[in-house]
Structure 1
């Protein structure tokens, strides 16, 4: 009988979390059952409970993974104002609007997070705090803001980004969606210049 490598279980878990992240953002938390999530990872339903105690624990793992990846992306931006402004331009782009499965987890899932219970809510809260701190650090450094002001602006910036993307995605008219994205980019520049 062949044995799996020592990291096989962790690699399988990572594959489940990554594929579930795309599916859950695309179809919603309640729109993706365990069977679909496991099929996306190339596994059977029976393998699910070797990695997760419940769908809620998988969703919490997905939320943690997605938000950590987003925080890492922000941390890796080029230094200076152009780095953060470039991220904002990408975030409020038509490409991001159209690519829900590979985009921001907050914009895709925020309306569902509050109904998922404490495990998912706590994972989301931790992840958002990491992102807010990363953005605040950049604002304090690159915009020479006091730490408290930078934290407030970071939360405001995240609020505008997420709500703007959700609104743009809700528009069926492409021109109106683009209007939301352009107006939001303009408003964020005003927020950052204040």
Structure 2
């Protein structure tokens, strides 16, 4: 790849990375081209060298935002090898996650947008929901109940995070996170104690 092609690819990647963060934090309707290009250190006029349209950029950014969450969820589950669901619940319902939507789970921010969105956004959202359900269900020894429990767990995680970001009272926001985390962990079967 020539120098100018490498620069073009790096610029495109920078715009896409910024747009992905904006989409996670603000949804798909908010970020404007001029704002994104300025933050990327590029001119507004250069936008069409990288993307066919704003809709093209936003669709790619939303897809990226959704898929980037998988690695974070898997890492959270690995933090507690004995009880991976507990690690995932603690990481997801953390104040740090609540307070950093630009780097958090895009399922929270993009749910309403996907519900109103085009097929591409719906497909990307569904793909991520299915991936999270598979991850969570894989932590359960009872295969028959695993999918239903995964649906309940994921719904509670996303819903609690959404509400904790939406309420005005910080103490109530913390209570939502803490209570839902506690109740979800109580539902999980405890790991067997090693024989002494």
1:24 maps to 23
Structure 1, residues 25-81: CA drift from partner, whole Å, max 9, x if none?
223321211111222222222232222222222222122212222112233442634
- Equivalenced residue count is 187
Q: Say whether the 8 Å CA contact 1:67–1:127 is kept in structure 2.
A: yes
Corresponding residue of 2:141: 144
Counterpart residue number, 2:194: none
Tell whether 2:92 aligns with 1:91: yes
Aligned mates of 1:9, 1:150 — CA distance in 2: 46
1:168·1:180 contact (CA, 8 Å) conserved in 2? yes
Tell me the residue number matched to 1:189.
Answer: 185
| In structure 1, distance between residues paired with 2:9 and 2:147 | 35
1:122 matched to 2:128: no
TM-score for both structures, normalised by structure 1:
0.84
2:160–2:177 Cα contact (<8 Å) kept: yes
Secondary structure at the counterpart of residue 91 of structure 2: helix
TM-score (norm 2): 0.83
Q: 1:95 to 1:46 in 2, by over 3 A?
A: same
Determine if contact 2:133/2:154 at 8 Å carries over to the other structure. yes
- Contact 1:59 1:120 (8 Å CA) reproduced: no
Q: How does 1:49-88 map to 2 (within 5 A)?
A: 49-76=48-75, 77-78=77-78, 80-88=81-89
CA distance in 1, matches of 2:64, 2:36: 16
Larger radius of gyration: 2
User: C-alpha displacement at 1:164, in angstroms?
Assistant: 0.4
- Unaligned regions of 5+ residues in structure 1, if any? none
Change (3 A) 1:54 1:126: farther
Structure 2 residue runs of 5 or longer lacking an equivalent are: 191-196
| Distance (Å, rounded) in 1 between the aligned partners of 2:183 and 2:112 | 23
Give the counterpart of 2:151 among 148, 155, 173: 155
